[in-house]
Amino acid sequence: KAGVTQTPRYLIKTRGQQVTLSCSPISGHRSVSWYQQTPGQGLQFLFEYFSETQRNKGNFPGRFSGRQFSNSRSEMNVSTLELGDSALYLCASSLQTSGAQYFGPGTRLLVL
């Protein structure tokens, strides 16, 4: 089976802009989670979707949002970008709750 894919792999944006990141889960996986990884804060949970419904959200401002489509693909959006949003954004998919989560390669976002 193909793994989790994320596009784009790299992005450079300026402060105030918005960005949309895309994730395609492993075939058959209906749960998609997003994480932010930074050197200072480590890996932090953003949100999780299952069957197009957001089931859980981490402690991030409302500028961070996401959605999931009927084919389980997911997108996350960050509006009004800040310098501190520079990070590796990781998507993970899983078959079931409290089970193994498989990560994609991530999207490296740099905000200038």
5 binds other proteins per the rule CB under 8 A:
no
Greatest alpha-carbon span in the chain? 38
Burial status of residue 40 (CB atoms within 10 A of its CB: 0-12, 13-18, 19 or more) = exposed
- Per-residue x/- marks for other proteins, 15-34, CB under 8 A? ----------------x-x-
Site for other proteins in 46-65 (CB under 8 A): 48, 50, 55-56, 58
Give the pairing of strands 87-94 and 102-103.
antiparallel
Site for other proteins in 60-89 (CB under 8 A): none
Cα–Cα distance measured from residue 7 to residue 49, given in angstroms and rounded to the nearest whole number: 18
Interacting residue ranges for other proteins, rule: CB under 8 A: 4, 31, 33, 35, 42-45, 48, 50, 55-56, 58, 90, 92, 97-106
